Copies of this chain bind each other. A is one copy, B any other.
Amino acid sequence: MILLLGASGYIGEAFAKELQLRKQAFIPLARAQVDYTRFDSLLEFLRVNKPAFVVNAAGYTGKPNVDACELDQAGTLAGNTLLPQTIAHACAAANIPWGHVSSGCIFSGAKISAPGTVRVEKDMTKAELHALAEGKSAALLGFTENDPPNFSFRDQPCSFYSGTKALGEEVLAGAAQCYIWRLRIPFNEGENPRNYLTKVMRYQRLLEARNSLSQLDEFVRACFACWQKRVPFGIYNVTNPGSVTTREIVELIKQSGVSHKQFDFFSDEAEFMRVAAKTPRSNCVLDTTKLQQTGIVLTEIHDAVVKALRRWKTTS
């Protein structure tokens, strides 16, 4: 039996759906049944029910966006830092392996590889310009699992949300039987306010930036594959290989015919921050080599977006 925490959220629902498809027995534990944020309650539940594996898909993301986390710092810390620490302690005490849904948003920018050097550029727009200026020999690389977060309380500025997610990884650093799966901007073919494609189509204006993304259902299958294949515990960037810009997404949406609206862009990040955001956003590229080397392969990012748009389903 698998214990699923946070089953009612956007990410948790995708885990629950996949478990149902697989006819895998699982308990989607609600806090109203057992307050799993309390160590003693969770530990007792683990000892009585003895799950083979625990998935933590619970977290605090802020509604309608991360700006809301700035106004509920205690709740953001409780959901993204204190809860993973509590689960880690209870799973360690009960000797149960588990996986934690983390986030790639603890990074900003990309690495620029030029002959003889690799350097970090925190500003995604500047990273693109610099790589372009250096010509064909330069390439944008993603952050690997060995790179320290550069959009965190230890490397400011960051959003409060990203700070708590990075600290949520830090508290798991010593955990012996724990997967840390980094999700980054989820999307799939189902219209949803949390789906990146829905967001791009609904936002009044867009910010041009390059990002790695996670097709949500592929993400979930990759997470379970980590456990089923018994790949080594530790951190994994679980994003679709490659990266994509907002303008590329818009082009793919137009080509798909899913939306014919006139897409409008902020002139730059400074205007976006002034007009639409209270706290800085992470835009970043992640490297997926580590996951791929375990034999777990996700679809290339542009192909994954095209596929989602081809199967686009509206809820109305």
**A53 at the B interface (CB under 8 A):** no
Determine if B81 and A39 form an interchain contact, defined as CB atoms under 8 angstroms apart. Answer: no
Instruction: Give chain B residues whose Cβ lies under 8 Å from the Cβ of A92.
Output: 39-40, 43
Q: Among A82-90, A194-202, A236-244, which stretch is in contact with chain B?
A: A82-90
**A211 at the B interface (CB under 8 A):** no
Determine if A85 and B82 form an interchain contact, defined as CB atoms under 8 angstroms apart. Answer: yes
Q: Among A6-14, A115-123, A168-176, which stretch is in contact with chain B?
A: A168-176
Given the complex of chains A and B, what is the CA–CA distance between A38 and B38 in angstroms? Answer: 18
The number of times this chain is found in the oligomer is: 2
Determine if A174 and B85 form an interchain contact, defined as CB atoms under 8 angstroms apart. Answer: no
Determine if A174 and B39 form an interchain contact, defined as CB atoms under 8 angstroms apart. Answer: yes
Determine if A77 and B74 form an interchain contact, defined as CB atoms under 8 angstroms apart. Answer: no
Instruction: Give chain B residues whose Cβ lies under 8 Å from the Cβ of A174.
Output: 38-41
**Chain B residue with minimal CB distance to A94?**
B93
Determine if A77 and B86 form an interchain contact, defined as CB atoms under 8 angstroms apart. Answer: no
Determine if B176 and A93 form an interchain contact, defined as CB atoms under 8 angstroms apart. Answer: no
**A58 at the B interface (CB under 8 A):** no
Instruction: Give chain B residues whose Cβ lies under 8 Å from the Cβ of A153.
Output: 73-74, 77
**A97 at the B interface (CB under 8 A):** no
Instruction: Give chain B residues whose Cβ lies under 8 Å from the Cβ of A59.
Output: none
**A167 at the B interface (CB under 8 A):** yes
Determine if A82 and B171 form an interchain contact, defined as CB atoms under 8 angstroms apart. Answer: yes
Determine if B73 and A40 form an interchain contact, defined as CB atoms under 8 angstroms apart. Answer: no
**A154 at the B interface (CB under 8 A):** yes
Interface residue ranges of A153-197 to B (CB < 8 Å)? 153-154, 156, 163, 166-167, 170-171, 174, 176
Instruction: Give chain B residues whose Cβ lies under 8 Å from the Cβ of A86.
Output: 85, 89
Interface string of A75-112 (1 = CB under 8 A from B): 00110011001101110110000000000000000000
Given the complex of chains A and B, what is the CA–CA distance between A74 and B176 in angstroms? Answer: 22
Interface residue ranges of A6-57 to B (CB < 8 Å)? 38-41, 43
**Residues of A at under 8 Å CB distance from B?**
38-41, 43, 73-74, 77-78, 81-82, 85-86, 88-90, 92-93, 152-154, 156, 163, 166-167, 170-171, 174, 176
Ranked nearest first, the 7 interchain pairs of A and B with the lowest CB-CB distance are: A74-B153, A73-B153, A89-B89, A39-B89, A38-B174, A74-B154, A93-B93
| 28 A–B contacts, CB within 8 A, in A order | A38-B174, A39-B88, A39-B89, A39-B174, A40-B174, A40-B176, A43-B93, A73-B153, A73-B156, A73-B163, A74-B163, A74-B166, A74-B167, A74-B170, A77-B77, A77-B81, A78-B167, A78-B170, A81-B82, A82-B82, A82-B167, A82-B171, A85-B85, A85-B86, A86-B89, A89-B89, A89-B90, A93-B93
